[in-house]
Structures are given as structure tokens and as C-alpha cells.
A and B are shown apart, each in its own frame.
Chain A
Amino acid sequence: MTFELFIFYLFSAVTLFSAVAVVTVRNPIYSALFLILAFFSSAATWVLLEAEFLGVVLVLVYVGAVMVLFLFVIMMLDIQIDTIREGFIRYLPVGILVAVAVAAEMILVVNSEVFNVDIPAPTPLSVNNTEALGEVLYTEYVFPFQIAAVILVVAIISAIVLTLRRRKGVKKQDPSKQVRTRREDRIRMVKMKAEKRQ
């Protein structure tokens, strides 16, 4: 076993273990952390495939941004694990049945001759793959690239439309309103008759 192969098996094992852990651990925080581990070790696999740009992007975007956001959301929401787990045992037999059937079918097909091809030899590139990706992204693939950008715009607009709203009864501070307050807003002059001596 070469060192490279050893590294590959190590990272693959970590990926598989952490992916299983994501869906089995009880605490959602641990679950998210295991997902980070899964992302990180698959990024390492990518680097082994000499696709270092994709590996770096996976760490930067998913681990750095998406998962941090996930953790924020999980910590801010009061998630009742028990209600989420409800019905887990009840649906388990069907779930296992479907999973086993799909896995068996996939294994049968993937083991067929069609997929039994030699691993293609890597094409040596004169430039590093970040540069190579950059060149095709803005030439050959400029149209899909632009559409992907439009999809991100739609995501932003949708997120804002669905979350931005004026809610009533929110105790939010408005400094300019606080500064502009007048005496009449705060105190009320009440005229009362003096109470009679008893």
C-alpha cells in the first residue's frame, strides 16, 4: 500500500464514519460538527485527486460559511429532538427496505461491465487547475456561469421576501424616535382634588 492509498483510505473512512454520525447522534450540534468533519475529509479526497481548487472551495464555502450559519440556526432555534425523533422506529422498517433495495440495485448496475472501465490516466496540465477552471468558466461556460449567478440573486430575493416583514408588538429600539421624544409623550399631568381628611 502506497502512502497515497493509505491517506485515501484514512480520509474515506473518516468521511463515511462522520456521515453516519451526522444522522445518528442525538445532539444536533454534534450532528452539524460531524457534517463539518465529513466536508473536510471529502475536501481532502478532492485534493488527493489533484483538484485542489475544489477542495479549498469546499472548505471555504461549506465549512467556513454554510456550516457556521447552520450552527447559528441550530443554536438559535429551540429544537425538540424528541419530537423530531418521533416515528423514527415506526418508519425504520420501510426506510431500511427502501435503502437496501436501492443499494442492491445500484450495486448490481455499477458492478456491470459498462462501469468496469480502466481509470483514465490524468491529463497533465500546463497550468494549475484554478487557472484552468477560471479560463473555461469565463469562456466556454460563460452562459451557465451567468445563470448560476442569476439563481443566487433569486435566492437572495426569495429569502428577503419571505423573512423581511414589519411585525407588530416587537420591542425594538428606535434611537431617532427615542431622541425625538417630547415631554408630553412621557408624563401626564393629572389634576386631582385633595382628599378629604378622614
Chain B
Amino acid sequence: MLLFSLIPMQFQTPNILLATPEMFLLAGTCFVLLTDLFVKDSQRFITYLLTQIVLLVTAGLVLFGTTEMNLILAESYQATGQSGATAFSDMFVLDPMAQILKISILLVTVGVFVYSREYLRARDMYKGEFFTLGLFAVLGMMIMVSAKTMLLIYLGLELLSLAMYAMVAFKRDDGRASEAAMKYFVLGAIASGMLLYGMSIIYGVSGSLHLDHIANYMSTHPVMENIGLLLGLAFIIVGLGFKLGVVPFHMWVPDVYDGSPTAVTLFLGTAPKIAAFAMVIRLLVEGMGDMVQGWQQILSLLAALSLLAGNIIAIAQTNIKRMLAYSTISHMGFVLMGILAGSHEGYAASMFYIITYAIIAMGVFAVVLLLSREGYEADQLNDLKGLSSRHPWYAFMMMLFLFSMAGVPPTVGFYAKLSVITAVVDANIIWLAVFGVVMSVIGAYYYLRAIKLMYFDKPEGSTSSVLALVKWDFRVLLSLNGLSVLALGILPGTLMTVCLKAIQSSL
């Protein structure tokens, strides 16, 4: 079944200006890449500054849009009554959900680069390519967020993944980093293969790669008896599970988090999670919304297993990065809980959860970066000992982040968990909601243990008493980051409303 003739008789020029932010980012990335060739090692600051400017301008373009972009959006609103417009033969979509997720990705990446600058400088990794690869990864994430066909989802994912593999292996003489990169690469390739296979089956059955056409096909056919579609769905969920890092596809997460340089872990554990969320929403909700019965069951199991394994194995860790890796697995379980609720409130709760999680994770890894210095990685839990007597303010920030991860009010983590659990209860999956609550109580143990180490234990010797030399921008951003966790926790309404409105007008 061909939905459009192979060769279009009259080809209409796509509304390419709708992708202005992406085009600006790509052009800016190439500019940074070329400028870096003419910059001496001592002037690397120029590359860094250009990177940040490119990211901020792109975020501005997404937020405010150009005149042409707004015109296209307004025309589309008048024609269809929906906010959001498509371009490039309906392959690319710019809707409120895409806008919010893109802005979050861009701003989180700006923060990641601010945090990682001194770390990179101390480890001979302060090179232009680090920033260029980061920018390409951001481009991949933006494409994933705006993709309306499986083809673009896959291409965006590959662009992101390839840049990430190279960043993990960036310290190529470090054995552990190379091992992490190999594991990440091999498992990522298997996951991509699974995802592609699932996509090809769905394409074979429904006759189109476009998510709207797939949704149309599914709404007019009995989908739950169609074993072909179910097989495709299973493969797609395996692929998504690998990319999200949920149990039982989580084995790579601790090794990669632990093995990569901390600055890369910081990037890996924040912005790509937001893009992965978008990928799940686009594929499962927009494309295969009629198979909700099918994916709800599978996701419930994955979410429950992630909560169980993530929280319990994290207790046994002595390494902060590994502990945070397992904590990520359990947080991804919470994100899945919101999605599998299958309601707009649930998707909005998940969106809120993933955005705030990215902010919190950024802060936690920033403190880990802060404690490490030249030739020394502060990646053991014992390195936190007595932090409060040495640096009360940073210890307070770390406490806010850890409380937020544990879900203690008044931090934002509490509200995020609450809204996800409410959505699950509304969907009448009570067992999962109860299980989620019990597991987050178990999880609170290892967060509180870290806080106890900071506040009630004496520092060990002089080895961990020196703080890395960080500039004012790092300190200011970390303080803002910590306070935002508190502010969002006390006043979550605005962000939550924005998320809900975006989901309602996009889906």
C-alpha cells in the first residue's frame, strides 16, 4: 500500500523555515568546528564561548521563533485548529511539546558545559571537539524531539549516539573509559538493531513510516489480535528500554556512568534522557496509541523491575557514580510509570519528572565534579565525608539535590513523584503505585546515607579537603541550580501547567 506516489508530480517546497533553530544549530556547530582549527590551546575559551552563544541563540529561536516561523505556525493554527505545524513533507513537527523539550535540552546542555569546563581543563580534555561533538549530540536530540516519522527518529538517535560514543571514549588512553565506550557502543548498536527491526515490521504491516499514518492504520484495524504489530511493538520497546536504561536492559548504565570521564557522565545522564522521553512519547503514544493495552503491560513490568533493581542494588554501591547510575535506573522506572498511565495527566507528569530530573542530576554530578581535581576523581562515597564542615554551602546544595532525588518535600522531587503516582492511581494500576512508594522509601536510604556522610562524619585526612579551582560561573550556576530545585518544589504549578498544556495541545 503506497500512501503517496513514489515520485511526486508537483513537489511543494517544504516549510523549511520551521526548522530554523536546527539549521542555525548545524551552521553554528560547523562554525565552531572551523573556528577551533585557528584557535591556540591557550585561547580555547573562544571555542567554549562560541559554543555557549550558539546554544543560547538556538534556545532563543525555539522560544520566540522568527517572524517566518510564527507566521507558519499561525497559518497552520488557522487551517487545522491545532498549535504546531509540520514541515519537510510532514516529517518534521514543531509543537508545544517539542518546543519545551528542546528548550530544556538546550539549557541543560549550557549548564553541562559550564560545569565541565574546569574538569576538562585539568585533564587535558579541554579541546574543541568535545564541544563540537556535544553540539552535534544536541542536534540529534532536537531532531528526535521533532521527528514525525520513524526514519527521523532513528536518524536523530544515531546522531546522538555516535557523538556520545566518541565523547565517552574521549580520554582514549584511559582503559576504563575505553571499556565503557566499547560496552556502550556494542550494546547501543544492538539496541539500534532491535529498534530498526521493530520499525521495519511496523512499516511492513501498516505500510508507512509516518507516525500519523501508522496511528490511522491502527485506529481502523484490530491491533491487539495482529501478531505482526505486537512483534514490532515488542522489538521497539526493547530498543527504547536499552536507550532509556530500564531493567532488564540496564546492564550498560552503571559501567558507562562509572567508566566515562565525569564531565561526560554529567552530559550523558541529563539531556539525552529528555530526548529519550520524547522518543517514547512519539513512538508509543503518537504512533501506536491504539496499542496502549499492549505497551501498558510491558511498561508496567519494566517500570516495576527498574524500581526494584535500581533502588536495591544502589544500596550496595560505594562509588558515587555507580550509585547515581542505579538511581537513574529507578528514576527511569518512575518516568515509565507516568507514560504507562496512558492519560494526558500521566504524560505531563512524566514530562515534568524528566525535566526536573535532568536539572537535579546536573546538580549532583556538578558537586562530584567540584570535589574532584587534577589527577584525582572524587567518585567514592567517602569523599563526601565532612563536606559540610569544609564547604557548608555546597554541602547544602548537595543535600537539596539528594533530598529531591529521594522525593522529600519541599524539594521538586517530591512533587514529581507525587504527580506520577497520582496519574498511575487514576489509571487504576494501584499495585504499581504502592510498589513505587515502597521502593522510593527503600531508595531514600542511600540518599540519606550520603547526606549523613556529609553532615555527621569527620573528613578523612587531607586528601579530600582541597576543592577544585572553579570559577565564579560554576559557583553561581550551582547555587542557582540548587535553589531552582527548592523553588520548583515550592511552586511547581507553573512548570506543571506548561507541561500539561503542551501535552494537551500536541497529542
Please report A residues at the B interface, Cβ cutoff 8 Å: 109, 112, 114-115, 123, 125, 127, 132, 135-136, 139-144, 147-148, 150-151, 153-155, 157-158, 160-162, 165
Determine the distance from Cα of A141 to Cα of B91 in the docked complex, in whole angstroms: 9
Sorted from nearest, which 7 A-B pairs have the closest CB atoms?
A158-B166, A114-B228, A143-B88, A139-B11, A147-B155, A161-B129, A112-B227
| Least Cβ–Cβ distance between B33 and chain A, in angstroms | 7
| Contact residues, B246-278 vs A (CB, 8 A) | none
B228 contacts A115, C-beta separation under 8 Å: yes
19 extra A-B contacts, CB within 8 A, seeds A150-B26, A151-B155: A109-B227, A112-B227, A114-B205, A125-B6, A132-B7, A135-B7, A139-B89, A140-B8, A141-B151, A143-B91, A147-B155, A148-B155, A151-B162, A154-B162, A154-B163, A157-B129, A158-B133, A161-B133, A165-B172
As a 0/1 sequence over residues 127 to 156 of chain B, the CB contacts with chain A under 8 angstroms (1 = contact) are 101001100100100010000010110011
| Least Cβ–Cβ distance between A52 and chain B, in angstroms | 16
- B326 at interface by CB-CB < 8 Å: no
Which residues of chain B are near A157, meaning CB under 8 Å?
A: 33, 129, 132-133, 136, 166
The 8 Å CB contact of B155, one of A112, A123, A136, A144, is A144
A136 contacts B6, C-beta separation under 8 Å: yes
Determine the distance from Cα of A160 to Cα of B159 in the docked complex, in whole angstroms: 17
- B19 at interface by CB-CB < 8 Å: yes
Determine the distance from Cα of A163 to Cα of B204 in the docked complex, in whole angstroms: 41
Residue of B nearest to A142 (CB): B88
With known contacts A147-B152, A158-B163, A109–B231 Cβ distance under 8 A:
yes
The 8 Å CB contact of A150, one of B2, B127, B139, is B139
Which residues of chain A are near B92, meaning CB under 8 Å?
A: 143
Determine the distance from Cα of A135 to Cα of B152 in the docked complex, in whole angstroms: 19
Q: What are 21 pairs between A and B in contact, CB < 8 Å?
A: A114-B205, A114-B228, A114-B229, A127-B7, A132-B6, A139-B11, A139-B89, A140-B89, A143-B152, A144-B91, A151-B158, A153-B136, A154-B133, A154-B136, A154-B159, A154-B163, A154-B166, A155-B162, A157-B33, A160-B129, A161-B129
- B169 at interface by CB-CB < 8 Å: yes
Which residues of chain B are near A147, meaning CB under 8 Å?
A: 143, 152, 155-156, 159
Interface of A (DSSP majority class): helix
- B365 at interface by CB-CB < 8 Å: no
Which residues of chain A are near B229, meaning CB under 8 Å?
A: 114
Residue of B nearest to A126 (CB): B7
| Least Cβ–Cβ distance between B257 and chain A, in angstroms | 20
Interface of B (DSSP majority class): helix
Determine the distance from Cα of A163 to Cα of B149 in the docked complex, in whole angstroms: 35
Determine the distance from Cα of A143 to Cα of B231 in the docked complex, in whole angstroms: 29
- B493 at interface by CB-CB < 8 Å: no
- B226 at interface by CB-CB < 8 Å: yes
- B447 at interface by CB-CB < 8 Å: no
- The total of Cβ contacts below 8 Å across the A-B interface reads 91
- B14 at interface by CB-CB < 8 Å: yes
How large, as a class, is the contact surface on chain B?
Answer: 35 or more
- B446 at interface by CB-CB < 8 Å: no
| Least Cβ–Cβ distance between A133 and chain B, in angstroms | 9
- B165 at interface by CB-CB < 8 Å: yes
Which residues of chain A are near B163, meaning CB under 8 Å?
A: 154, 158
| Least Cβ–Cβ distance between B391 and chain A, in angstroms | 35
Which residues of chain A are near B6, meaning CB under 8 Å?
A: 123, 125, 132, 136
Which residues of chain B are near A135, meaning CB under 8 Å?
A: 7-8
Determine the distance from Cα of A140 to Cα of B162 in the docked complex, in whole angstroms: 25
As a 0/1 sequence over residues 86 to 129 of chain B, the CB contacts with chain A under 8 angstroms (1 = contact) are 01110110000000000000000000000000000000000101
| Least Cβ–Cβ distance between A112 and chain B, in angstroms | 5
A150 contacts B8, C-beta separation under 8 Å: no
- B403 at interface by CB-CB < 8 Å: no
Which residues of chain A are near B11, meaning CB under 8 Å?
A: 139-140
- B170 at interface by CB-CB < 8 Å: yes
B169 contacts A162, C-beta separation under 8 Å: yes
Determine the distance from Cα of A114 to Cα of B87 in the docked complex, in whole angstroms: 33
Which residues of chain A are near B226, meaning CB under 8 Å?
A: 114
A161 contacts B170, C-beta separation under 8 Å: yes
Determine the distance from Cα of A158 to Cα of B185 in the docked complex, in whole angstroms: 13
Determine the distance from Cα of A155 to Cα of B172 in the docked complex, in whole angstroms: 16
B136 contacts A150, C-beta separation under 8 Å: yes
Determine the distance from Cα of A139 to Cα of B11 in the docked complex, in whole angstroms: 7
B166 contacts A161, C-beta separation under 8 Å: yes
| Contact residues, B154-190 vs A (CB, 8 A) | 155-156, 158-159, 162-163, 165-166, 169-170, 172
Determine the distance from Cα of A147 to Cα of B136 in the docked complex, in whole angstroms: 11
Interface centre among B4, B127, B155 (most CB of A within 10 A): B155
Which residues of chain B are near A136, meaning CB under 8 Å?
A: 6-8
Which residues of chain B are near A109, meaning CB under 8 Å?
A: 227-228, 231
Interface centre among A114, A136, A139, A143 (most CB of B within 10 A): A143
| Least Cβ–Cβ distance between A12 and chain B, in angstroms | 20
Which residues of chain A are near B162, meaning CB under 8 Å?
A: 151, 154-155, 158
Residue of B nearest to A113 (CB): B227
Which residues of chain B are near A125, meaning CB under 8 Å?
A: 6-7
B19 contacts A143, C-beta separation under 8 Å: yes
Determine the distance from Cα of A114 to Cα of B129 in the docked complex, in whole angstroms: 48
| Least Cβ–Cβ distance between A165 and chain B, in angstroms | 7
Determine the distance from Cα of A139 to Cα of B6 in the docked complex, in whole angstroms: 11
Residue of B nearest to A161 (CB): B129
Determine the distance from Cα of A158 to Cα of B231 in the docked complex, in whole angstroms: 35
Determine the distance from Cα of A141 to Cα of B155 in the docked complex, in whole angstroms: 12
| Least Cβ–Cβ distance between A121 and chain B, in angstroms | 12
Which residues of chain A are near B204, meaning CB under 8 Å?
A: 115
| Least Cβ–Cβ distance between A75 and chain B, in angstroms | 22
A150 contacts B169, C-beta separation under 8 Å: no
Determine the distance from Cα of A74 to Cα of B227 in the docked complex, in whole angstroms: 43
| Contact residues, B209-254 vs A (CB, 8 A) | 226-229, 231
Which residues of chain B are near A140, meaning CB under 8 Å?
A: 4, 8, 11, 89
B8 contacts A139, C-beta separation under 8 Å: yes
| Least Cβ–Cβ distance between A91 and chain B, in angstroms | 15
As a 0/1 sequence over residues 281 to 306 of chain B, the CB contacts with chain A under 8 angstroms (1 = contact) are 00000000000000000000000000
Residue of B nearest to A112 (CB): B227
A162 contacts B172, C-beta separation under 8 Å: yes
Which residues of chain B are near A114, meaning CB under 8 Å?
A: 205, 226-229
Determine the distance from Cα of A136 to Cα of B9 in the docked complex, in whole angstroms: 11
Which residues of chain B are near A123, meaning CB under 8 Å?
A: 2, 6
